[in-house]
C-alpha cells in the first residue's frame, strides 16, 4: 500500500529512500503546497539516494485550464543525488528538478521511468543519465490526453 504524504523533507546528507511507493495526497483535491521530496531550506542534502521508489504526484486526472501549479516530485539542489529504478508520474510540475552545479553533475539518473508529469518530466541541466524511459509529458495519466 502506498504511503500517503503531502511532503517528504530530507534533513542533512547521506539520505536513502528505498523501496517505497509514495502518493502525494492533499485534502479535497487541492494543489500541493510543496514538492513531494525535497530538502529543508538551508540544510544541504548531499549524497542522497532514491532507489526502487514509485512516486505519484496526484495529478493523474488533472483538468487545469488556466492554473499554473509547479510542484515537483523530486527537487534537490545539492550534488551527489542518485536516482535508480524509480517511477515518477503525475507531478503538478516536473518529475524531477535539479539545477546546474557548475562542473559537478548534480544527479545520476538510471533505469527509471518518468511519465505523465504536468509541466515536463525532467528539468535537469547537469546530470548523468542512462537507460531511462521519459514519455508523455503534459498528458494526463488517466487517459493520456492533453492537460
Say how far apart CA 8 and CA 32 lie, in whole Å: 12
Q: Is residue 101 part of a domain?
A: yes
pLDDT at 30 over 90: no
Burial of 73 (0-12, 13-18, 19+ CB in 10 A): buried
Q: Is residue 56 part of a domain?
A: yes
Contact call for residues 90 and 54 (beta carbons, < 8 A): no
Say how far apart CA 17 and CA 101 lie, in whole Å: 22
Q: Is residue 142 part of a domain?
A: no
Say how far apart CA 33 and CA 36 lie, in whole Å: 9
Q: Is residue 143 part of a domain?
A: no
Higher-pLDDT residue of 1 and 89 is 89
Contact call for residues 117 and 139 (beta carbons, < 8 A): no
Q: Is residue 14 part of a domain?
A: yes
Write out the residue range of the structural domain in which residue 41 sits: 3-135
Say how far apart CA 83 and CA 69 lie, in whole Å: 24
Rg (CA), the chain: 14
How wide is the angle at C-alpha 96 spanned by C-alphas 108 and 78, nearest 5°? 60
Q: Is residue 114 part of a domain?
A: yes
Q: Is residue 141 part of a domain?
A: no
Cell reading at 58: 496526484
Q: Is residue 130 part of a domain?
A: yes
- Give the global pTM: 0.86
If one counts the domains in the chain, the total is: 1
Give tens-digit pLDDT for 69-112: 668 899 887 788 899 999 999 888 899 988 766 656 678 999 99
Say how far apart CA 26 and CA 108 lie, in whole Å: 30
Confidence grade of residue 27 (pLDDT, cut at 50, 70, 90): low
Look-up of cell digits 528539468? 123
Amino acid at each position: 500500500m502506498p504511503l500517503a504524504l503531502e511532503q517528504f523533507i530530507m534533513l542533512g546528507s547521506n539520505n536513502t529512500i528505498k523501496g517505497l511507493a509514495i502518493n502525494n495526497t492533499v485534502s479535497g483535491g487541492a494543489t500541493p503546497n510543496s514538492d513531494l521530496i525535497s530538502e529543508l531550506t538551508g540544510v544541504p542534502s548531499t549524497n542522497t539516494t532514491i532507489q526502487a521508489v514509485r512516486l505519484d504526484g496526484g495529478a493523474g486526472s488533472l483538468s487545469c485550464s488556466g492554473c499554473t501549479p509547479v510542484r515537483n516530485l523530486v527537487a534537490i539542489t545539492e550534488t551527489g543525488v542518485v536516482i535508480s529504478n524509480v517511477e515518477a508520474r503525475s507531478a503538478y510540475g516536473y518529475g524531477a528538478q535539479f539545477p546546474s552545479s557548475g562542473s559537478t553533475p548534480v544527479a545520476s539518473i538510471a533505469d527509471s521511468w518518468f511519465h505523465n508529469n504536468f509541466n515536463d518530466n525532467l528539468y535537469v541541466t547537469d546530470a548523468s543519465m542512462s537507460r531511462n524511459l521519459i514519455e508523455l509529458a503534459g498528458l494526463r495519466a488517466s487517459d493520456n490526453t492533453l492537460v
